[in-house]
């Protein structure tokens, strides 16, 4: 039985979404994206010239690979900025999909929850398919889902930190509270982090720095692909309950006694 990730009206075979920043060169980026098996990549509206979609441009290269391009509002600090960038992306890329980021400060790069909720509400009302980057607060995640966001994207740890899943209990609670897909966004540093996120019940992972800044990006991309698949399989399999004490794995009945 196939296990697809469905977000809004789009079905993806891969549960791994990649960013496109900080690669040493476009060739390494494309090689890593291919190795990861992803079908969706995100690009910062402010970082790229959306009007240039020639075959040599980043957008042209991505689209030639038949990837779903997900524009994001990275670098926005207010709802007004984020909504404006989303509208520019919709016009230039002809997509209603937007990864919504509204940052509170330059030090932590944590979401500004009040501005995020305001922007999400406006974009949903404008017909966007909104995927918001949010804190790992279950209440905020539920508010975003209830207002009509297509997914919620709680951080595992601060952006680019490689800290992994710092509050696993919160991720589990978010998974229980919302009916839309839960995608871990930010903080993944290595394959074990990705596997843990999926074992906790996350529906997918969006990451960038862990691959683009790795010593061997394409090799790390393959590791992330396998980790996401393994973590998802373990979650679906249903792990054994944790116990404080040991429990025999072999029956003792019929044992030969000295």
Catalytic residue among 6, 99, 118, 143: 99
Beta strands in the chain (DSSP E): 5-7, 10-12, 16-19, 40-44, 68-72, 97-100, 129-134, 153-154, 183-185, 204-207
What is the maximum alpha-carbon separation in the chain? 82
Hunting for tokens 């509170």 — which residue is that? 104
Return d(Cα 58, Cα 47) in angstroms, integer: 11
204-207 sheet: strands from edge to edge: 153-154, 129-134, 97-100, 68-72, 40-44, 16-19, 204-207, 183-185
Q: Where does 94-156 have alpha helices with state H?
A: 113-125, 138-146
Name, in order, each residue with C-beta under 8 angstroms of 162's C-beta and a sequence gap of 6 or more: 187, 188, 189, 190, 193, 209, 210
Strands 97-100, 129-134: pairing is parallel
- Is residue 99 annotated as part of the catalytic site, yes or no? yes
Q: Is 12 helix (H, G, I), strand (E, B) or coil?
A: strand
Active site residues per annotation: 99
């Amino acid at each position: 039985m196939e296990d697809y990730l469905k977000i809004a009206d789009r079905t993806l075979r891969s549960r791994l979404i990649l960013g496109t920043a900080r690669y040493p060169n476009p060739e390494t980026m494309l090689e890593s994206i291919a190795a990861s098996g992803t079908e969706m990549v995100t690009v910062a509206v402010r970082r790229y010239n959306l009007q240039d979609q020639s075959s040599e441009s980043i957008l042209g290269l991505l689209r030639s690979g038949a990837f779903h391009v997900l524009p994001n509002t990275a670098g926005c600090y207010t709802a007004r900025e984020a909504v404006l960038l989303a509208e520019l992306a919709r016009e230039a890329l002809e997509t209603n999909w937007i990864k919504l980021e509204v940052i509170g400060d330059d030090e932590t790069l944590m979401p500004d929850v009040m501005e995020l909720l305001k922007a999400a509400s406006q974009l949903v009302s404008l017909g966007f398919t909104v995927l918001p980057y949010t804190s790992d607060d279950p209440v905020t995640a539920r508010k975003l889902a209830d207002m009509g966001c297509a997914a919620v994207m709680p951080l595992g740890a601060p952006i680019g930190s490689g800290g992994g899943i710092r509050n696993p209990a919160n991720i589990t609670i978010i998974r229980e509270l919302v009916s839309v897909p839960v995608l871990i966004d930010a903080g993944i540093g290595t394959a074990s982090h990705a596997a843990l996120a999926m074992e906790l019940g996350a529906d997918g992972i969006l990451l960038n720095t862990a691959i683009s800044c790795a010593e061997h990006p394409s090799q790390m991309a393959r590791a992330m692909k396998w980790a996401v698949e393994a973590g998802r399989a373990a979650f679906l399999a249903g792990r054994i309950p944790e116990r404080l004490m040991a429990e025999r794995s072999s029956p003792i009945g019929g044992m030969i006694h000295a």
